[in-house]
């Protein structure tokens, strides 16, 4: 029989309402809250970072290929095949953008027309359909954001006019509104419309002219590694860059969330450790008479240390288990119900995003347990200073 374990179990889980019982439960609760808060922090920050990055990648891809000096390039089927042959690459989409004025009845709005091949699905489509597929002719259709269509009161199926300025001359095109998209990112929803790439090429009198290629990667590949691999397959005067370089304000904001996460987790871990240390000191002070008595009948300091280490272990592991249940439970609840809503104009999404990474949960459990065990050793050193004679007068 493990004597230290049995003593620790009896003084920790005694049925009588004692001060020790209250302190143990309070410490378990504080540990559980800390662990649950850490799990929720990881899940929420992961969700924010993944959701926002995913929206940017859906619109532009993870990697962009363009000319070094920023001018237009000619579409090259041979180059496209070489890029697609690179292992991390999943899809490649040529695109071109041009400023234009959108007009409907008496209302006008300055926007950027993004031309993509008409066989490419429009990202974030929420109503209507994609632009009709036709390889031989220019499709006179347009997709607007839901916000822009609402602002100008344009219903699906209506015709709008686009005015392009090319070489000092204004060129007008009449297009039919066939779809609405909504990304939740104002920079996209208020500024971009989707048209057939051949429409802009015709206006520029160059059927092979594009601004660049938007490349999406397979999930398991790192962007920076993929960029280096793609660059090797590109012709001279063409460069591959991560989309982070084009939108640093968004990805810098994503990076700030990691800093906030680390600060929050550090604070919660410190609270948990201080709570456990305080609890163990109080429990030891309350059991000074027991320590003196066991020492007097021959118990070693090692045995006494084990008693309180077992007691602290009960508190730590029960608190970790409850914290995991609460943290994961709340995370799954939000993930599947979306009951916490956000201001989309500020956070780019309507619901609080959640993304649970199993390896992080395991790291939280192991890390909290290790820090707890290390911190437990500090107060148990005090046991050596307690003498049986002093405990007789200690009350």
What does 259-316 look like in DSSP terms, one character per residue?
A: HHHHHHHHHHHHHHHHHHHHHHHHHHHHTHHHHHHHHHTT--HHHHHHHHHHHHHHHH
Same domain flag for 266 and 227? no
DSSP reduced 3-state for 134: coil
Q: Is residue 133 part of a domain?
A: yes
% of the chain residues with pLDDT over 70: 85
Domain boundary among 183, 210, 236: 236
Res 388: pLDDT = 54
98-123 pLDDT tens trace:
999 999 988 899 999 999 998 888 88
Give 295's pLDDT tier (boundaries 50, 70, 90): low
When comparing pLDDT for 198 and 272, which is higher? 198
| pLDDT at residue 186 in the model | 84
Identify the domain boundary among 236, 266, 281.
236
Domain count, the chain: 2
Q: Are both 203 and 258 inside the same structural domain?
A: no
> Whole-angstrom Cα distance, residue 99 to residue 111?
6
Digit-coded pLDDT (tens) for 55-72: 899 889 999 999 988 788
Single pTM value for the model: 0.81
Q: Is residue 155 part of a domain?
A: yes
Are 31 and 84 within one domain?
no
Would you state the pLDDT for residue 289? 67
194: β partners? 114, 143
pLDDT at 7: 67
Same domain for 174 and 285, yes or no, is no
Q: Domain for residue 63, yes or no?
A: no
Residue 10's pLDDT is what?
A: 67
Low-confidence winner among 240-244, 359-363, 378-382 (lowest mean pLDDT): 378-382
20, 90, 154 from 210: Cα distances, Å: 74, 20, 29
The alpha-carbon radius of gyration of the chain (Å, integer) is 32
Annotate 44-89 with DSSP letters as a single string. Answer: HHHHHHHHHHHHHHHHH-SEEEEETTS--EE--HHHHHHHHTSTTE
Domain boundary among 182, 209, 236: 236
Do 271 and 360 reside in the same domain of the chain?
A: yes
The reply to whether 225 falls in a domain is yes
Pairwise CA distance, residues 337 & 330, whole Å: 10
Which distant-in-sequence residues (6+ apart) come within 8 Å of 154 by Cβ? 104, 144, 148, 160, 177
Are 163 and 311 contained in the same domain? no
Confidence of residue 368 (pLDDT cuts 50, 70, 90): confident
The reply to whether 28 falls in a domain is yes
Whether residue 83 is found in the same domain as residue 230: yes
The verdict on 81 and 221 lying in the same domain is: yes
One domain for residues 149 and 222: yes
CA 20 to chain centroid = 42
Helix (H) or strand (E) holding 110: strand 107-116
Mean pLDDT over 85-103 rounds to 93
Residue 178 is assigned to a structural domain of this protein: yes
Q: What is the pLDDT of residue 260?
A: 87
Judge whether 315 lies within some domain. Answer: yes
Q: Do 284 and 229 have their domain in common? A: no
Are residues 31 and 125 both part of a single domain? no
Are the CB atoms for 142 and 195 separated by under 8 Å?
Answer: yes
Q: Which domain holds residue 386?
A: 3-55+251-393
pLDDT at 204: 85
The pLDDT of 218-245, averaged and rounded, is 90
Report how far residue 153's alpha carbon sits from residue 155's, in angstroms, rounded to the nearest whole number. 6
| Residue-averaged pLDDT of the chain | 84
Instruction: Label the pairing between strands 125-128 and 169-181.
Output: antiparallel
Is 11 part of any domain? Answer: yes
CA distance 133 to 97: 20
| pLDDT classification of 18: cutoffs 50, 70, 90 | low
Averaged pLDDT, 270-275: 82
Rounded CA separation 143/192 (Å):
9
> Are residue 17 and residue 109 in the same domain, yes or no?
no
Task: Encode burial over 9-44: b for 16+ CB neighbours within 10 A, e otherwise.
Answer: eebbeeeeeeebeebbeebbbbbbbbbbbbbbbbbb
- Tokens found for residue 116: 């993509």
């Amino acid at each position: 029989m493990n004597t230290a374990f049995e003593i620790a179990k009896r003084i920790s889980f005694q049925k009588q309402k004692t001060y020790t019982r209250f302190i143990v439960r309070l410490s378990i609760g504080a540990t559980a809250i800390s662990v649950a808060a850490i799990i929720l922090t990881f899940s929420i920050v992961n969700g924010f970072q993944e959701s926002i990055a995913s929206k940017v990648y859906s619109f532009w891809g993870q990697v962009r290929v363009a000319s070094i000096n920023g001018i237009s390039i000619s579409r090259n089927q041979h180059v496209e095949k070489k890029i697609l042959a690179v292992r991390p690459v999943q899809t490649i989409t040529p695109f071109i953008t041009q400023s234009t004025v959108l007009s409907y009845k008496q209302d006008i709005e300055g926007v950027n027309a993004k031309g993509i091949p008409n066989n490419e699905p429009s990202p974030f489509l929420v109503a209507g359909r994609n632009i009709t597929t036709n390889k031989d002719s220019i499709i006179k259709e347009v997709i607007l954001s839901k916000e822009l269509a609402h602002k100008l009161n344009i219903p699906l199926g209506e015709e709008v006019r686009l005015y392009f300025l090319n070489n000092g001359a204004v060129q007008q095109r009449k297009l039919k509104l066939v779809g609405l998209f909504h990304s939740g990112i104002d920079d996209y929803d208020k500024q971009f419309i989707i048209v057939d790439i051949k429409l802009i090429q015709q206006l520029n009198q160059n059927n092979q002219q594009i601004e660049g290629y938007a490349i999406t990667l397979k999930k398991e590949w790192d962007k920076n590694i993929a960029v280096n691999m793609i660059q090797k397959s590109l012709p001279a005067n063409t460069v591959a860059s991560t989309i982070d370089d084009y939108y640093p304000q968004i990805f810098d904001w994503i990076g700030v969330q990691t800093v906030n996460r680390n600060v929050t987790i550090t604070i919660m871990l410190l609270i948990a450790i201080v709570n456990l240390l305080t609890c163990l000191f109080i429990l030891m002070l309350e059991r000074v008479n027991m320590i003196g008595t066991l020492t007097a009948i021959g118990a070693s300091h090692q045995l006494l240390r084990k008693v309180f280490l077992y007691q602290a272990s009960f508190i730590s592991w029960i608190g970790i288990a409850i914290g995991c249940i609460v943290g994961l439970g709340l995370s799954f609840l939000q993930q599947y119900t979306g009951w916490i809503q956000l201001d989309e104009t500020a956070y780019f999404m309507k619901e609080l995003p959640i993304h649970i990474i199993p390896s992080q949960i395991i790291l939280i459990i192991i890390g909290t347990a290790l820090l707890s065990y290390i911190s437990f050793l500090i107060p148990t050193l005090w046991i050596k200073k307690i003498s049986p004679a002093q405990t007789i007068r200690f009350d």
